[in-house]
Amino acid sequence: MLRFYNYELNEKAKEYIEKIKNDSKKLDKENQKFIEDIFLTKKNETYYSYGGYLGSALTQELETKKDVKFNDIFPKSIYPALKLLMGEKFFKIFIEISKNITNYPFSSGYYRRMVRSKSYFNYINPLFNLLGNFVDLYFLNIDVITIVKREYEKGVYGIDNPYYIAYEIDNGNQELIDLIKEALGSQKSEIDLTYNNMKAIFISNNKELVELTGKLLLAAKLQEGVRQQICENMDSGLQENFEYMFKIIYDKNLIRFSSVKRALATWTGLAGEGNDISKFGKKELEIINKLIDNQKYEDELLKSDDNIEVYLGLWNKSTRDIKYSVEAIEKLLKSSKYHIKLLISYYLYVIVNTTYKR
């Protein structure tokens, strides 16, 4: 947030921050404190980026609270501070995206898993990243077309937030939709099909773009890089978009490609960096296909003595809400064999939520 690899922009950002701090004096004490904490960079000998301290403090404060709501993180009483930081337009978009964010997996990065939660506690980091993006966009005064075309100043990075791009897609930004269609097609395109642009497609409700992505996956043939980019991002958004793409992989036997096997390992956590994936994929693919067709199959899997079957039963529950898999784990721990308990330990290691690792 407001940190750039550009000296002039950083100097302007410092002036902008001081202006925000001065303007916040017109707000009540709660909003002033929020602005103060957002820009706090050192506390108890620990250094933070902008927003880092507040995000960390809220995580500690809400760690023991069950079923955290959006208002527990950003209560309406501090909306004036949010509007001051990101402007009225981006504030409204921030609130709209936040309403739907629990429909998407909460973890990100290479070690992410396709795990969702109805508790906003698990989305504190994504929400603060989104907040920081909108503060930057408001400061830089750029829109989504400028972002996807990369027509902003040098030294600006990380502002292509996929949730924002997906929001614009879902709200009928036809210029943006046409640019993405061009990138998915064979014709020359004004934009690159970046990872975040691809993620935005799967986050969005735009079925046409998802279907075009499916066609691109089939057309990739020897283009392993394209196939990898699609498969590595198809777990980032709505469950129905994942299932649509999965059926293409299953029906066309795309598991024969190593990029698809690696993506399957990422979605599930069943294999990591350096693991031999040559024999990995077919069995797991069959199980996931059955789970998509029949959700209740997951309970059947949990009765199995087979580690893979039990693991994928737990995984499928967590794709809806992590609490469902935790409830199943509590039952398994009471009656399962030792090897299943070891499996549960591994599962807790990969679900990217330290709250349950006990």
pLDDT digit string, tens, across residues 245-281: 999 999 999 998 988 998 898 888 886 655 666 667 8
Residue 336 has pLDDT above 80, yes or no: no
- Is residue 13 in a domain? yes
Q: What is the pLDDT of residue 22?
A: 97
Query: Which residues is 42 bridged to in the sheet?
Result: 47
Question: What's the whole-number average pLDDT of the chain?
Answer: 91
* pLDDT tens digits for range 66-76: 899 999 999 99
- Is residue 203 in a domain? no
- CA-to-CA distance for 271 and 283, rounded, in angstroms? 14
pTM: 0.93
* pLDDT tens digits for range 103-149: 999 987 766 788 999 999 999 999 999 999 999 999 999 999 999 99
According to the 3-state scheme, what is the secondary structure of 150-176? CCCCCCCCCCCCHHHHHHHHHCCCHHH
- Domain range for 35: 1-141
- Is residue 215 in a domain? no
- Is residue 98 in a domain? yes
- Is residue 5 in a domain? yes
Per-residue pLDDT, averaged over 77-94, amounts to: 98
| Burial class of residue 96, CB neighbours in 10 A (0-12, 13-18, 19+) | middle
- Is residue 82 in a domain? yes
- Is residue 319 in a domain? no
What is the sign, positive or negative, of the torsion defined by CA atoms of 111, 316, 229, 127? Answer: negative
Residue 357 has pLDDT above 70, yes or no: no
Tell me the C-alpha to C-alpha distance, in Å, between residue 39 and each of 33, 55, 195, 270: 10, 11, 29, 40
- Is residue 18 in a domain? yes
Tokens of 226: 């394209």
Count of domains observed in the chain: 1
Tokens of 15: 């002036």
